[in-house]
Amino acid sequence: MPEVLIPIGPQHPALKEPVNFKIFAEGERIVRLELDIAYNHRGIEKAAESRDFIKVVPLLERICGICSHSHTTTFVKGIEEAMGLQIPDRAQYIRTIVAELERMHSHLLWLGVAAHEIGFNTLFMWTWRDREVVQDLLEEISGNRVNYGINEVGGVRRDIRPETAEAALRQMDFLDSRVVEYEQMVREEPTTLARFRGVGRLTKEQALAFGAVGPTARASGVDYDIRKDDPYLAYADIPFEVVTVPDGDVFGRTLVRIGELRESIRILRHAFGHLPSGPLRINAPRGAPRAEILSRYEAPRGELAHFIRTNNTDRVERLDVRTPTLANWTSVAMTLPGHHLADIPVVVAAIDPCLSCTSRITIVDRERRDVRTMTWDELRAHGVRFYRAKEGI
């Protein structure tokens, strides 16, 4: 059978960064894959060098539409460390609250996308409906559904009123009951069991060797979590557990994310209930002394690292951003070979790529010079049909 090259991507308006996957397949089996992430390089690292810290924060907020708070928090806490500032407790708690709400909306979104990729649209509709509860809370706190604009160097820009905290605590009970239901659904539904179990398997040794981060690593039993390993914001005094499972497949990644939803609710209950009083921000100096800071953050998708070099001015000399998707890519490239073409959507979606922007697929048969193009939707439908015929689901 001839080896077939299947390019996926690069354009998809719904997700954040366009990417192109070139997948080499033999029939239905994947042989290897290559990645091209060139399509949405916007030069933000370069642009950050020519703006002062105040202007860099909104710029970094726009690196990613889903983990916008992650990028600004990583940056401002790095700059604050360089300046030697002690941030008021209330600001740290508010940052933590927004960070955990962001994790919840990101994981609920992921759960819906993963369900959609396997044709389980009921779960998709339910998680996205419940995600609106989280979005409404974010809107109430920050005024925005995305790009919350909460952070600034020295503290936060908006307060949380006591009524908001009380209303949020009530919503946590609702979300808690939903998460219980999702867990039961994922564990018992034949569709999720057949399409998630054993797919995209990554052993603990592989996860360590290929440098997987976040839920991808934790689903393989690696308990890396920056919130515990290198505590920042208010995580040092809020009780929570790092969720790990030994499964190592897409099923495990789903369970880890559901477990993290539960832990996020626990963190949010504590944070809303114990909001310290005090100021929201302190006045930060305009410039930062010469320093080299590695600022680490547990974003919804895994460890996010900003390397910041300041140089006695009000600008960064260098800002080097390493996003979790780039770290997880190696593990996907290593685990996909051997799988079915029909599993691509769910395995790629399982790392929750911040760049899973895949709208068209061209299938090139090298021998016959035959080119046909498939949209992502068609590939997804192919996956659903393939398993329906094979497993009867």
Partner 1 sequence: MTQRGLDLERVTQAMGEFGLVEQVRQNRIRVASTRERVRDAIVRAKDRLGCDHVIQIACVDTGKVLELHYHLTGAHRTVVTIRAELPRDDSRIASVHDLLPPAGIYERQMHDLMGIRFEGHPDLRRIILNEDWPESEYPLRKDWKMDPTKFYGGVRKEAT
**Residue window 123-162: x/- pattern of binding to partner 1, with contact defined by CB under 8 A:** ----------------------------------------
Query: Which token pair is 199?
Result: 């797919």
Q: Which of 24, 31, 45, 165 binds partner 1 (CB under 8 A)?
A: 45
- Among 130, 18, 36, CA closest to 329: 36
Nearer of residues 54 and 209 to partner 1, judged by Cβ: 209
Q: Which amino acid does the sequence have at 268?
A: L
Applying CB under 8 A, among 173, 292, 377, 378 the residue interacting with partner 1 is 292
Spell out the residues 6+ positions from residue 46 whose beta carbon is closer than 8 angstroms to its own: none
CA distance linking residue 194 with residue 17, whole number of Å: 30
In the complex with partner 1, which residue's Cβ is closer, 181 or 223? 223
User: Rule CB under 8 A: is residue 43 a binding residue for partner 1?
Assistant: yes
Contacting partner 1 within 322-381 (CB under 8 A) = 322, 326-327, 329-330, 334
d(CA 360, CA 375): 4
Helix (H, G, I), strand (E, B) or coil at 135: helix
Q: Contact between 236 and partner 1 (CB under 8 A)?
A: no
**Taking contact as CB under 8 A, which single stretch among the options 116-124, 167-175, 177-185, 292-300 is the one that binds partner 1?**
292-300
Q: How many whole angstroms separate alpha carbon 232 and alpha carbon 295?
A: 9
As a whole number of angstroms, the longest Cα–Cα distance in the chain is 71
| Minimum gap (Å) between residue 289 Cβ and partner 1 | 14
Total of chain residues touching partner 1, rule CB under 8 A: 35
| Between 142 and 331, CB nearer to partner 1 | 331
- Binds partner 1 (CB under 8 A): choice among 209, 236, 289, 385: 209
Q: At 114, which amino acid appears? A: A
List residues bridging with 195 in a β-sheet.
Answer: none
- 223 contributes a contact to partner 1 by CB under 8 A: yes
Q: How far is the C-alpha of 95 from the C-alpha of 89, rounded, in Å?
A: 10
Residue 43 Cβ vs partner 1, minimum distance, rounded to whole Å:
7
Which of these, 297, 306, 288, lies nearest to 79 by C-alpha position?
Answer: 288
Considering the complex, what minimum distance in angstroms separates the CB of residue 138 from partner 1? 29
* Among the listed residues 8, 37, 56, 384, the single contact to partner 1 using CB under 8 A: 37
C-beta separation of 220 from 202 below 8 A: yes
Which segments of the chain are extended strands (E)?
3-8, 20-26, 29-36, 151-152, 155-156, 291-299, 302-310, 316-322, 360-365, 370-375
Q: Left (φ > 0), alpha (ψ -120 to 50) or beta: where does 337 sit?
A: beta
Give the H or E element holding residue 245. Answer: none
Of 26, 28, 36, 370, which one interacts with partner 1 (CB under 8 A)? 36
Pick the closer one to partner 1 by CB: 48 or 150. 48
Q: Identify which of residues 45 and 314 has a Cβ nearer to partner 1 in the complex.
A: 45
CB closer to partner 1, 89 vs 317: 317
Asked whether position 224 contacts partner 1 by CB under 8 A, the answer is yes
Q: Give the Cα separation of 169 and 337 in Å (integer).
A: 45
Q: What contacts 271, CB < 8 A, 6 or more positions away? A: 93, 96, 97, 100, 234, 238
Q: Which stretch binds partner 1 (CB under 8 A): 223-231, 265-273, 274-282, 370-378?
A: 223-231
Q: Does 47 contact partner 1 by CB under 8 A?
A: no
For partner 1, which is the closer residue by CB, 229 or 365? 229
Residue from 58, 65, 198, 211 binding partner 1 (CB under 8 A): 211
Q: Which residues bind partner 1 (CB under 8 A)?
A: 35-39, 41, 43, 45-46, 81, 208-211, 223-224, 228-230, 292, 294, 296, 303, 305, 307, 309, 317-318, 320, 322, 326-327, 329-330, 334
